[in-house]
Amino acid sequence: MTAPHRPTVILIGAGFGGLNAAHTLANTDVDVLIIDRHNFHLFTPLLYQVATSGLDPSEIAYPVRGIFRNADNIRFLMGPVEAIDTAGQTVTVRTEHQVIEEHYDYLIVAAGSKPNYFGQDAIREHAFDLKTLWDAVTLRNHILRSFEQAAWIDDPAERAALTTMVVVGGGPTGLETAGALYELVRHVLRREYHSGLPDTPGRMILVEMQDHVLNPYPPRLQRAAYRQLESLGVEVILGTRVVEAGPDHIRLDDGTVVGTHTLVWSVGVRGATLAERLGVPLKANDRVPVLPTLQVEGLPGVYAVGDIAYLEDPRGEPYPMLIPVAQQQGKLAARNILRRLKGEPERPFKYFDRGLMATIGRSRAVAWLFNRVQLTGFIAWLAWLGLHLITLIGFRNRLNVFVNWVWNYLTYDRSVRIILQPDGHHNAPGGAGEIAAAPDWLVTETTEAAEELETAEDEAALSVPLL
């Protein structure tokens, strides 16, 4: 007698939404295939610390196969998705050596998002993104190379442009990046380049088109974040936007021209390109419309979660493109599939908002917990550190990050000030989102370092929600 057919769930994307869905389906009576173009899960909230030489890339990444090594029903396939046939229920993946077509009974799309330049392609050509591990390493290489170049240039204006960094966007990512960049320059690079750059202090500029930073936060925390930025030494320009960018300058809408070789774009995101392959009309920011059960509208058996999914809350506002939303949606989509298999009704998505956090630099942060408690300064900073530390996957990663944070706090040092860009590659900003994968040296480094972590701690980490 033949064994009964087990339903197959294909899960596209190993980000926070995809990983939580897979964790929910692990060791259940379904076959799960995770597809991702990279072989690791990336802890994106700490990308800026890789870009600013605070952490090594391997400390915020972990191999997907390692996470689920004890889940017999989960397989992994690395490669970009070339096609989704919702009628035939197949997903086509191009690997390094072949094209593979896999059949599914249920599909969860958790492909995430990509930077949103709002049609300003000319700016994109000269801007750095912070969405992938490769983006962070590329920015780190560029910053360190800029200071190396500036130390041997006699022209004061060119030296100033090389050591001036501009971050566009007053959200949490923008504030965290700006604060970390300034601390890198102030506490590390100024000392190391004291002979070559005696009269070039280095500037850190944050540009925000609104008249305040941290738009979703209460006014008190917005003002606190602004004061903390200024006290740190970051120049904050509000109520203006970047309208032009070149290799050595930017221009604001008031006509101001700032000489800089480093423009970091953190304004916003939109749904990943994969959204277009589902063949449904997209909503704002290229997001896939879903029902309250997270099924894609018009596609039974297909679910979308996280940044790529468009669903409105009870107030009629779309759920924000945040990690906690992705985590909770990933769990619900997986549970709804299991409910369908049992003949039970599916449940609608209800977001449990645990709050928001943003760190601005050493001992500087703001936190809005459960939309009630407002924290600023050192206490908020400690809360931010603790939450991110316990949410990292793997004991070794947590230990390494903790040791680095303590060392950086005590010594003001940034240990990963190395330029690892292979010869023949240029740090041309822009287009980072078009790079299909990190170079072999980076993937190898990440994989080998992370394989030393213990499985029990992997699964425990996945159960911890992130604010």
User: Quick one: three-class SS letters along the chain?
Assistant: CCCCCCCEEEEECCCHHHHHHHHHHCCCCCEEEEEECCCEEECHHHHHHHHCCCCCHHHHEEEHHHHCCCCCCEEEEECCEEEEECCCCEEEEECCCCEEEEECCEEEECCCEEECCCCCHHHHCCCECCCCHHHHHHHHHHHHHHHHHHCCCCCHHHHHHHCEEEEECCCHHHHHHHHHHHHHHHHHHHHHCCCCCCCCCCEEEEEECCCCCCCCCCHHHHHHHHHHHHHHCCEEEECCCEEEEECCEEEECCCCEEECCEEEECCCEEECHHHHHHCCCCEHHHEEEECCCCEECCCCCEEECHHHEECECCCCCECCCCHHHHHHHHHHHHHHHHHHHCCCCCCCCCCCCCEEEEEEECCEEEEEECCCEEEEHHHHHHHHHHHHHHHCCCHHHHHHHHHHHHHHHHHCCCCCCCCCCCCCCCCCCCCHHHCCCCCHHHHHHHHHHHCCCCHHHHHHHHCCCCC
Please count the other Cβ atoms lying within 10 Å of the Cβ belonging to residue 273.
14
| Residues belonging to the active site | 176
Going by C-alpha positions, the residue among 68, 62, 66, 64 that lies closest to residue 26 is 68
Alpha-carbon distance 103 to 92, whole Å? Answer: 9
Q: Which residues contact 98 (CB under 8 A, 6 or more apart)?
A: none
Phi then psi for 222, rounded to 5 degrees?
Answer: -60, -45
